[in-house]
Structure 1
Amino acid sequence: MKNLKRRLEEIGGNWADELIFVLWSDRTTLKVATGQTPFRLVYGAEAVIPSEVQVPTHRYANATEERNQVEMASSLDTIDEPRTSTQIRMATYKQTAAKSYNKNLRLRTLQVGDLVLRKVFLNTKNQSAGKFAYNWEGPYRIEGIVGNGAYKLETMDGEAVPRSWNIIHLKKYYVRGSRCRTQKFHL
């Protein structure tokens, strides 16, 4: 997509003429995640690029119609092996990307009875307050744990708050002078 966008921005109004070449180059370029070209994953063989036709290479110069048919049939019969290795490589690539993304992730957990503040959203924000409006509202008490990172809340009067709330929209609330643990969270 980056290639497509960059090339089409360079061309300007003649993007329709250039689109074919950009798509062809995308289909014949090795992808990092798969280690294969999309063309090879579909057809089981490497594509003949237009420059090979203009300046014939050994592969193109020695190609015949019959030989091409035999090689294509052979490639399609053995295409499962590259596809399987590509699936394994993609799984490894996804694990590496997830590990890199999650290395700085800090898990936060809340327990029933903890006091929290809830993030104020645009649809519930007091519009007349302008930029000085509160970003957090509450405090609320954790009534129950719904799932991994989702909590049911109740007001300080014991009234249930509708729907469950994800932890990314909650922040622990500490009361000064009480025996609560003091801990700082940077959100």
Structure 2
Amino acid sequence: MNNLKRRLEEIGANWADELQFVLWSDRTTPKVAIGQTPFSLVYGAEAVILSEVHILMHQYSNAAEERNRVEMASSLDIIDELRAIAQIRMAAYKHTAARTYNKNVRLRTLQVGDLVLRKVFPNNKNQSAGKFAYNWEGPYRIEGIVANGAYKLETMNGEAVPRS
């Protein structure tokens, strides 16, 4: 997305003409999380761009058609294995990212009667306030514990807050 955003910002008004090239470069760039390109996981082979074809023309011109068919068939045979490896790598990457993110999280238990603030979500936010709208509303008092991390709230006057 950063590559897409950067390239399209440079182009400005002619972004529609350049979009296909940016998407192609994104699909043929190896991703950190899976160690493969999305193109190779779909088609079983790496994409060859036009400049590589011109440089490696001799190699392609001497390749036998039958040998090429055999190599493509063998790559299609192992594509399921490559996808499974990519899935394992993605799970390990997500686990590492979650562990890094959660290492500074402090567990805080709330009790009935504690005062809390409630997050204001975009669909409930006052649109006329713009970027200066509050992100939190309250204070509210915890009326009861519904489940682990879910609470029933009431206003400071004792009125129940709907959908809390």
**Band the TM-score falls in, shorter-chain normalisation:** 0.7 to 0.9
User: Which residue is equivalent to 1:96?
Assistant: 96
User: Which residue is equivalent to 2:105?
Assistant: 105
Q: Is the 8 A contact 1:146 1:152 kept in 2?
A: yes
Q: Which amino acid aligns with 2:109?
A: T
Secondary structure at the counterpart of residue 71 of structure 1: helix
Give 1:116-127 correspondences, 5 Å limit: 116-119=115-118
Secondary structure at the counterpart of residue 153 of structure 1: strand
Q: Is the 8 A contact 2:41 2:79 kept in 1?
A: yes
User: Which residue is equivalent to 2:26?
Assistant: 26
Q: Is the 8 A contact 1:41 1:82 kept in 2?
A: yes
User: Which residue is equivalent to 2:149?
Assistant: 149
Q: Which amino acid aligns with 1:28?
A: T
Give 1:22-61 correspondences, 5 Å limit: 22-56=22-56, 59-61=59-61
The TM-score, its normalising length taken from structure 1, stands at: 0.68
User: Which residue is equivalent to 1:174?
Assistant: none
Equivalent pairs counted in the alignment come to 156
Secondary structure at the counterpart of residue 111 of structure 1: coil
More helix by share: 2
Encode CA deviations 1:84-133: one digit per residue, 9 max, x unaligned.
Answer: 11111000000111111111112211123x331434859699x9xxx9x9
Unaligned 5+ runs, structure 2: none
CA deviation after TM superposition for structure 1 residue 67, in Å: 2.8
Unaligned 5+ runs, structure 1: 165-187
Amino-acid identity (%): 70
User: Which residue is equivalent to 2:3?
Assistant: 3
Q: Is the 8 A contact 2:118 2:140 kept in 1?
A: no
Q: Which amino acid aligns with 1:39?
A: F
Q: Which amino acid aligns with 2:87?
A: Q
Q: Which amino acid aligns with 1:74?
A: S
RMSD between superposed Cα atoms in Å: 3.1
Q: Is the 8 A contact 2:140 2:153 kept in 1?
A: no
Q: Which amino acid aligns with 1:118?
A: L
Higher mean C-alpha displacement, 38-47 vs 7-16: 7-16
Q: Is the 8 A contact 1:52 1:60 kept in 2?
A: no
| CA distance in structure 2 between the partners assigned to 1:16 and 1:109 by the alignment | 51
| CA distance in structure 2 between the partners assigned to 1:124 and 1:63 by the alignment | 63
Encode CA deviations 1:42-66: one digit per residue, 9 max, x unaligned.
Answer: 1112222211112126653433443
CA deviation after TM superposition for structure 1 residue 148, in Å: 2.2
Secondary structure at the counterpart of residue 92 of structure 1: helix
Higher alpha-carbon Rg: 1
Secondary structure at the counterpart of residue 29 of structure 2: coil
Secondary structure at the counterpart of residue 118 of structure 1: strand
